[in-house]
Amino acid sequence: MAQKPFQFKQFTVAQDRCAAKIGTDGVLLGAWASIDHNPESILDIGTGTGIIALMMAQRSYAETIDALELDDDAYEQATENFENSDWGDRLFCYHAHLYEFATEIEDTYDLIISNPPFYETPSLPSASLPEGENTMSEARKKARFEDTMPFELLIGAVAKLLSETGVFNVIIPHHREEDFIALASSAHLFPTRITHVKGNLESPIKRSMLAFQRLEQIPHDIEGDFIRFRESVLPKELIIEYARHEYTDAYIALVKDFYLKM
């Protein structure tokens, strides 16, 4: 059965040829990423359907909104979604591996966003994998598993592609937060904003949304002191639901400009 297009308030996203469908993570990140610094150029790494790039087009006046996608089908679908939107003249999708793109591109971006694959590749033989995993398509594996775009590669590419005053936004599993921050700090990128996401009041923290800037952009009184700087960024918490389909005011305020029924 074909996956129906997902209708948002100002655009439609076809997703039948994409391994990674529209999900909460992408919409959260696209709505959460700050554009207070008025970015003129934006890059969405691993765009999939193109959802985050489209959200950035709706939210900002950036003249350049580029997206990067490796998978053939997802690239074609994202390109079509861009062309079918009201912002086709500002949206462009590159079909390339992140390493290739970062090596060859000379431009930098004021805002970089990524909802990266973050499932670690199973070490178990296929016969022992959870049900459904051993029959998973190659495209879906690429969309889900981190070895397609390791965090080290992502951070290295961002360090090269981010403008001096730019901001990098990412959503990752909460249990990977400290490791990711440590990797970013080695590239002189430091967290300036952190939000922990919980499904409901009783559930554990599931996701971390992180914003990073270059060392030169941090306050001078803590420059060079990573421990004090890290401790100065107090994480905020976002809870999605009080109960099933009973959404919190904070979540509604964040996504109401996109979801039809919010």
Would you kindly state where each structural domain of the chain is located, as residue ranges?
6-255
Q: Give the residue-averaged pLDDT of 174-188.
A: 94
Rounded alpha-carbon distances, angstroms, from residue 87 to 61, 82, 106, 125, 180: 10, 7, 24, 46, 33
In the predicted structure, residue 217 carries a pLDDT above the cut 80: no
Round the CA-based radius of gyration of the chain to a whole number and report it. Answer: 18
Residue 81 in contact with residue 54, Cβ under 8 Å? yes
**pLDDT at 234 (0 to 100):** 84
Q: How far apart are CA 15 and CA 158, in angstroms?
A: 27
**pLDDT at 261 (0 to 100):** 87
Average pLDDT along the chain? 86
**pLDDT at 19 (0 to 100):** 83
Q: How far apart are CA 104 and CA 100, in angstroms?
A: 6
User: Of 72, 207, 53, 51, which Cα lies nearest the Cα of 137?
Assistant: 72
**pLDDT at 224 (0 to 100):** 52
**pLDDT at 3 (0 to 100):** 75
Confidence at 140, pLDDT banded by 50, 70, 90: very low
Q: Which fold has domain 6-255?
A: Rossmann fold (3.40.50)
Q: Give the residue-averaged pLDDT of 216-238.
A: 64
Express the helix, strand and coil content of the chain in percent, nearest 5 each: 35, 25, 35
Q: How far is CA 39 from the centre of its chain?
A: 16
